[in-house]
Structure 1
Amino acid sequence: MYLPKTQRKSSAKLLQAVLLLSLFYGCHKPDLPVLPRDESATVVYDWYKFIAMVQRPANPQPVVIQNIRNFGFIGVGLYEAVRPGSIGAESLSSRLYQMPAMPQADTWNQQYLWSESANAALASMFKSFLVLTDANKASIDSMENANYNRFSASTPDEVLMRSQGFGREIAAAIYNWSLSDGFNLSSVGYVPPPVTPGSWVPTPPAYANPVGPFLSDSRPFLEYSLTAMAPPLPFPFSEDTSSLFYKANKEVYDIGQRLTDEQKATANWWADAGGAGVGVPSPHHALSIITWVQENQQANLWKAAEVYAKTGIAFKDGPINTFRSKYHYNLIRPVTYVRRLIDTAWLSYLPTPPYPEYTSGLVGFYAPYIQVLIRSYGDIPVTDNAYEWRGLPARQFTSLSALLDEAALSRIYGGLHYRFTQEISIRFGKVLGNEIAAIRLAVPDYTHP
């Protein structure tokens, strides 16, 4: 084929450049990282579903707030275990309060399978953080080995072993960091403030001692959570029958007196109660929602890990901020007020937990992580199938916000909280969710507008 002289010169120069580059890279190793492949998050989803099955029949059931805290660390550890595989992603050690530097992977010179790193990290963290039987630990080992063997069909052993080692290094670093967070649910040494008519006091039928007065002293993930506090009550405590506070209690009482089967089902759905093999130990109800959303959105490994990390931050800091507010305001529970002023025999439909009323523990846990999901994927429709294993039909919601609203309403049906508490708790929790969602973990891609 005939080419004009100018095109012949251009082609010759291009060929010469290609030959020079080939010679150069044949003699020198390029100073470029080994690029990761776009890996599926299936191994992570499988692990979260598996560990829920492990903990469901536990007897006794896991301590709720402690289990939530543990899964917060696990989410952060998962992110750190796969982070080096995402070009430009930064460690949370530069974002979280007093988080130490994490082990580094040699991505410039070595290949990794990040799915195996996640596999090893999750298996190690579950065994470190969770209260498990020997049989539970053996089942975790079997799950880890099955995943490793599956990966070995397409990945060299040296890559798998390197990836496994890195995941375990991260798991150990995260667990060691967790040991210094000052987590404490005990009330030993707690001196309640002077009792007033509006003060929280132990509630029937168990009249248990308070739980978690020192939880707010635990080291949070965010510096914001060192001092975060819910706003003051929207109106003052009062026993006057014409007051807004009395009316708030009367509403809870009236709803409790005429609960429908549907309202009871809603209260039960979000209570996750019933003991081993009946309820869903926290935070597995929340994790089932997070996992459903991520699978539905087809998140890859790195996106999924980032969202598990950010929702994990919400798991830890949400209760810290909530309990700081609870013991600061020390507000009376509806069951105490109603039995004193309205109906001496009344009991809440759900058992009232042993700590003050304001703000809401459930909403303080749910609102931040739901806001993280909204900021990550939008206010999308969602299916909650947390009780599918019991044969209960899934609950469908038009949006994540609608799901949160129902969870908040369930505590009014249960007789545990005033409506104003739930409404303010949603707003308070969303502030934390937005703080978490604002954490930037990747270098912006300036090649796109």
Structure 2
Amino acid sequence: MKRFTTFYTRPARWASVVLLVGLFGGCEHLEQLENIFQHRLTYKQESAKVVYDWYKLIAQIQLPASPQPVVILNNRNFGYIGVGLYEAVRPGIKGSVSLATRLYQMPAMPEADMHQEYRWGASANAALASMYKQFLVGLSEADKARIDSMENAYNTHFRQTSSEAIIARSQAFGRSVANAIYQWSTTDNFNLSSQGYTPPVGEGAWKPTPPAFASPVGPYLKESRPFLFYSLTATAPALPLPYSEDEASQFYKAAKEVYDIGKALTAEQKATADWWADAGGAGVGVPAPYHILSLITGILEAKHAKLGQAAQVYAKTGIALKDGPIAIFRGKFQYNLLRPVTYIQEQIDPTWQSYLPSPPYPEYPSGLAGLYSPVMQVLIREFGDIPIRDDAYGWRGLPARQYTSISQLDREAADSRIYAGIHYRFTQDITRQMGKTLGNTIADMNLTPNYY
């Protein structure tokens, strides 16, 4: 992925200025041209701190929210926010193209007037403030006041080095992008209800699980418009093991593994299951996708990414946040596989309980692995399989977890659902491969084809 870069080195820049002065016949144009080139030299390297602060602020706002945001809806919303952020700063990325040329049924986005000067950090600031208010449900008046305060504070900061006209122009552009993104989002047919849906019955079929025995969530999510054409039909491969109740079968052994692990859980395995569950309500867990976003932001900050690179990474990981669940839920309701707790109670031990409750939808493929794996693959493609630090629960005083690689983190997240008693191991292994494929599809999307 290309970063915000300068058009020219200083000697080349001056050669171009001299050439243009000769062509247009007048030293009177020299100062004007030099100002243009200087502008292009500086705005390509704008800091991404404004973006990082916005993603951290929304975590602070949503952490104490009660009830907590709906997981899949919040993931979807941050997908749009990432795409909108990129579009709000895209004109400042050399050789870049709009995601409207890459995403399925995305309309043309507002265009900046490149004869005018912009402060792209101010555009991002306005776009994120606007999108947070439009996309994130349940914001209180106090929450909205915090958003306004952040926006105003950054505008005051930008005014120290940019004129009021530049700030106003940049704000207007960012807000126009935010509004266009939100209007587009209203047509994506997003639906988590199960009204009118009757779960199939039969051997190996999913049944509501304890303790709540809730109705299924998301049977129609597969019909939501994805970001990628690829995701219109993407689904899980066929089940690798035929359903069987025979104690000698591979399926029985897969369930027995979950049972045996659950009967002898170590303190570390319980802590790992809890770490990745992000559950427990306000003040205990973290609202999705804050855990993922904190990992993304942490890597970007550690790599000192500038605004252009950060915006592209948030956009591409945002695409994964929205499209990952669409493919996962298409597979879930296609194969309709029962959860381990159901199989174990019926075939192995009627008194067994999973460490964590199973979410109210079929087992295969995995929702958590299907969310993390494509995001982690996008990060691997951008930065390599680097060491990564996870401090998602630092606010609770829990020590950060350190991993030798992004892949190790991704593996642990998947294994955590086995410890929790929620998934079979084969589900996690296959879902990680699904996520890697989606992540590579997203990472292959070239947003700077005109870079030279």
Q: TM-score range by the shorter chain?
A: over 0.9
The answer on 1:417 being equivalent to 2:423 is yes
Give, in whole Å, the separation in 2 of the partners of 1:320 and 1:18: 52
Partner of residue 70, structure 1: 77
Deviation of 1:274 after TM superposition, in Å, equals 1.2
User: 179, 188, 191: which one pairs with 2:186?
Assistant: 179
- The CA distance in 1 between the partners of 2:359 and 2:152, in whole Å, is 41
Q: Quick one: which of 250, 253, 271 aligns to 1:247? A: 253
Question: Normalised by the size of structure 2, how large is the TM-score?
Answer: 0.92
Q: Which moved more, 1:32-41 or 1:204-213?
A: 32-41
Q: Distance in 2 between matches of 1:169 and 1:287?
A: 25
Offset at 1:277?
A: 1.6
Which region of structure 1 is more displaced relative to structure 2, 338-347 or 353-362? 338-347
Q: CA deviation at 1:189?
A: 1.2
1:214 Cα offset (Å): 0.2
Distance 2:251 2:333 in 1: 19
1:236 aligns to what SS in structure 2? coil
The alpha carbon displacement at 1:192 in A equals: 2.1
Query: Once the 2 structures are TM-superposed, how far is the Cα of residue 88 of structure 1 from its aligned partner?
Result: 1.1
1:168 pairs, out of 165, 175, 195, with: 175
How far apart are the structure 2 equivalents of 1:317 and 1:420? 22
Unaligned runs of 5+ residues in structure 1 are 1-15
Match of 1:297 among 281, 298, 303: 303
Partner of 2:7 in structure 1?
A: none
Alignment of 1:196-211 (within 5 A): 196-211=202-217
Write out aligned runs for 1:145-294 (5 A).
Answer: 145-193=152-200, 195-294=201-300
* Structure 1 equivalent of residue 66 of structure 2: 59
Report the Cα distance in structure 1 between the residues aligned to 2:20 and 2:238, rounded to whole angstroms.
70
Q: Contact 2:85/2:128 (CA < 8 Å) preserved in 1?
A: yes
> What is the CA-CA distance between 1:346 and the residue it aligns to?
1.1
1:92-107 matches, cutoff 5 A: 92-107=99-114
Is residue 2:339 matched to residue 1:337? no
Deviation for aligned residue 1:23 = 3.9
CA distance in 2 between counterparts of 1:191 and 1:219 reads 23
Displacement of 1:165 in angstroms is: 0.6
Whole-angstrom CA distance in 2 between matches of 1:37 and 1:180: 34
Distance of 1:190 and 1:175 partners within structure 2: 29
Q: How far did residue 21 of structure 1 move?
A: 5.5
In structure 2, list runs of 5 or more residues that go unmatched.
1-17
Among candidates 341, 355, 359, match of residue 349 of structure 1? 355
Task: Report the Cα distance in structure 2 between the residues aligned to 1:196 and 1:442, rounded to whole angstroms.
Answer: 51
Does 2:122 correspond to 1:121? no
What TM-score, normalized to structure 1?
0.93
1:191-235 residue CA offsets vs partner (Å, 9 max, x unmatched): 222x11200010111110000000000000000000001111111
- Asked if the contact 2:96–2:450 (Cα under 8 Å) also holds between the matched residues in 1, the reply is no
The counterpart of 2:26, out of the listed 24, 40, 64, is: 24
**Deviation of 1:26 (Å):** 2.8
Counterpart secondary structure, 1:66: helix
- Identical positions, percent: 63
Q: Deviations over 1:46-70 (max 9, x none)?
A: 1101110000000110000000000
Give the match for residue 326 of structure 1.
Answer: 332
Equivalent residue for 2:385, pick from 357, 360, 379: 379
Q: How many angstroms apart in 2 are the aligned matches of 1:328 and 1:73?
A: 26
Which amino acid is 1:129 matched to? F
Q: 1:251 to 1:441 in 2, by over 3 A?
A: same
Deviations 1:372-401 (A, max 9, x none): 000011000000000111110000000000
Q: Deviations over 1:286-328 (max 9, x none)?
A: 0000000111111110000000000000000000000000000
Q: Could you report, residue by residue, the CA deviation over 1:143-193 in whole angstroms, capped at 9, with x for unpaired residues?
A: 100110011111111100100110000000000000000000000011222
* Aligned ranges 1:126-141 → 2 under 5 Å: 126-131=132-137, 132-141=139-148
- SS of 1:313's partner is helix
Number of aligned positions between the proteins: 429
Alpha-carbon offset, residue 19 of structure 1: 7.4
Tell me whether 67-76 or 20-29 shows the greater mean CA deviation.
20-29
1:91 match: 98
Q: Distance in 2 between matches of 1:149 and 1:327?
A: 50
Q: CA shift at 1:444, angstroms? A: 5.1
Deviation at 1:20, TM superposition (A): 4.0
1:395 aligned partner: 401
Letter paired with 1:172: N
Structure 1: distance between partners of 2:323 and 2:46: 30
Equivalent-residue separation in structure 2 for 1:96 and 1:25 (angstroms)? 46
Shift of 1:443: 2.5
1:345-396 Cα distance to aligned partner (Å, 9 max, x none) = 1111011110000000000000011000000110000000001111100000
* Cα distance in 2 between the residues matched to 1:19 and 1:437: 42
